[in-house]
Structure 1
Amino acid sequence: MEEYDIAVVGGGPAGIMAAIVASWNSSRVILLEKNPSPGRKLLMTGGGRCNITNLKPIKKLLNIYPQKNFLKHSFYTLTNEKLLSLFEDKGLGFIEEDDNRIFPETERSSDVLEILLGYLEDVDVRYDFEVKSIVENFIINDEITVDKIIIATGGVTYPQTGCSIGNYCLTSQPLTDIKYGLVPLITKKDLSGIAGITLYDVIISYNKSKVQGNVLFSHVGLTGPGIINLSNIISQSLSYNLLDNEPDVDFEIAIDLCPAFTREELQKKFTIDFQSKGKTMIKNYLKLFLTGGFIDFFLDELAIEGETQLSRIDKKSKNRLIENLKRFSFEIIGFNKDLAKVTIGGVDLANVNPKTMESTLTPNLYFAGEVLDLHGPTGGYNLKIAFSTGFLAGLSASEN
Structure 2
Amino acid sequence: MEEYEIAIIGGGPAGIMAAIAASQNSSSVVLLEKNSSLGRKFLLTGGGRCNITNQKPIKKLLNIYPQKNFLKHSFFTFTNEMLLSLFQDKGLNFIEEDEGRIFPMSEKSSDVLDILTDYLDDVVITYNFEVSSITDDFIINDKIKADKIILATGGITYPQTGCNIKNYSLTSQPLTDIKYGLVPLITKEDLSDIAGITLYDVVISYKKSKVKGNVLFSHVGLTGPGIINLSNEISQGLDYNLLENDPDFDIEIAIDLCPDFTREDLKEKFTNDFQLKGKTMLKNYLKLFLTNNFIDFFLAQSDLDGEIQLSKINKKSKNRLIENLKRFAFEITDFNRDLSKVTIGGVDLDNINPKTMESTLIPNLYFAGEVLDLHGPTGGYNLKIAFSTGYLAGLSASEK
- Match of 1:289? 289
Question: 2: CA distance between counterparts of 1:194 and 1:58?
Answer: 40
User: What letter is aligned with 1:365?
Assistant: L
Once the 2 structures are TM-superposed, how far is the Cα of residue 284 of structure 1 from its aligned partner?
A: 0.8
User: What letter is aligned with 2:62?
Assistant: L
Post-superposition CA distance 1:177-199 (Å, at most 9, x none): 00000010110111111011011
- Match of 1:86? 86
Aligned residue for 1:353, secondary structure, equals coil
User: What letter is aligned with 2:24?
Assistant: W
Question: 2: CA distance between counterparts of 1:295 and 1:315?
Answer: 20
Structure 1 unaligned spans of 5+: none
Q: Which structure 1 residue ranges, 4+ long, deviate > 3 Å from structure 2?
A: none
- Match of 2:13? 13
- Check if 1:26 corresponds to 2:26: yes
Aligned residue for 1:202, secondary structure, equals strand
Aligned residue for 1:260, secondary structure, equals coil
- Check if 1:114 corresponds to 2:117: no
Question: 1: CA distance between counterparts of 2:284 and 2:12?
Answer: 50
- Match of 1:68? 68
Question: 1: CA distance between counterparts of 2:49 and 2:306?
Answer: 41
Question: 1: CA distance between counterparts of 2:169 and 2:34?
Answer: 15
User: What letter is aligned with 2:125?
Assistant: V
Q: State which drifts further: 3-12 or 302-311.
A: 302-311
- Match of 2:355? 355
Question: 2: CA distance between counterparts of 1:341 and 1:40?
Answer: 14
- Match of 2:369? 369
Question: 2: CA distance between counterparts of 1:294 and 1:399?
Answer: 58
- Match of 1:204? 204
Question: 1: CA distance between counterparts of 2:129 and 2:5?
Answer: 18
- Check if 1:47 corresponds to 2:40: no
Once the 2 structures are TM-superposed, how far is the Cα of residue 307 of structure 1 from its aligned partner?
A: 1.8
Question: 2: CA distance between counterparts of 1:250 and 1:20?
Answer: 46
- Match of 1:151? 151
Question: 1: CA distance between counterparts of 2:329 and 2:63?
Answer: 30
TM-score, normalising length: structure 1? 0.99
Q: What is the aligned length?
A: 400
Question: 1: CA distance between counterparts of 2:24 and 2:256?
Answer: 52
Once the 2 structures are TM-superposed, how far is the Cα of residue 279 of structure 1 from its aligned partner?
A: 1.1
- Check if 1:309 corresponds to 2:315: no
Once the 2 structures are TM-superposed, how far is the Cα of residue 305 of structure 1 from its aligned partner?
A: 2.1
Structure 2 unaligned spans of 5+: none
Once the 2 structures are TM-superposed, how far is the Cα of residue 314 of structure 1 from its aligned partner?
A: 1.2
Question: 2: CA distance between counterparts of 1:127 and 1:263?
Answer: 60
Question: 1: CA distance between counterparts of 2:376 and 2:341?
Answer: 11
Question: 2: CA distance between counterparts of 1:134 and 1:307?
Answer: 69
Once the 2 structures are TM-superposed, how far is the Cα of residue 17 of structure 1 from its aligned partner?
A: 0.4
- Check if 1:98 corresponds to 2:98: yes
TM-score, normalising length: structure 2? 0.99
Aligned residue for 1:122, secondary structure, equals coil
